[in-house]
Amino acid sequence: MNYLSLFSPHNLALLSDWLCETGELYVDIYLPHSGGGSSAYFVRSMNDLKSLIAQQTHPEIEIAVFHNLQYPIRGVADETLLKRALQQIADGDWYTIVSLENVYPFSVAWWGNGRSHQELERDFADVLGEKVGIGINPDDAYNGDWRKLHHGEVFT
Q: What global pTM score does this model have?
A: 0.89
Query: Residue 6: what pLDDT?
Result: 86
Q: What Å distances lie between residue 152 and 26, 64, 72, 88, CA to CA?
A: 14, 12, 18, 24
How many residues are listed for the chain in this entry?
Answer: 156
Strand order in the sheet with 95-99: 73-76, 131-135, 95-99, 110-114
Cα torsion at 25, 142, 70, 54 (round to 10°)? Answer: -20
Q: Domain boundaries in the chain? A: 3-69+141-155, 73-139
SS3 113: strand
Query: Residue 85: what pLDDT?
Result: 98
User: CA neighbours within 13 Å on the CB side: how many for 123?
Assistant: 22
pLDDT tens, position by position, 15-74: 999 999 999 999 999 998 877 778 999 999 999 999 999 999 999 999 999 988 999 999
CATH number for domain 3-69+141-155, candidates 3.30.2410, 3.30.1490, 3.40.50, 1.10.10:
3.30.1490
pLDDT tens, position by position, 1-17: 789 888 999 999 999 99
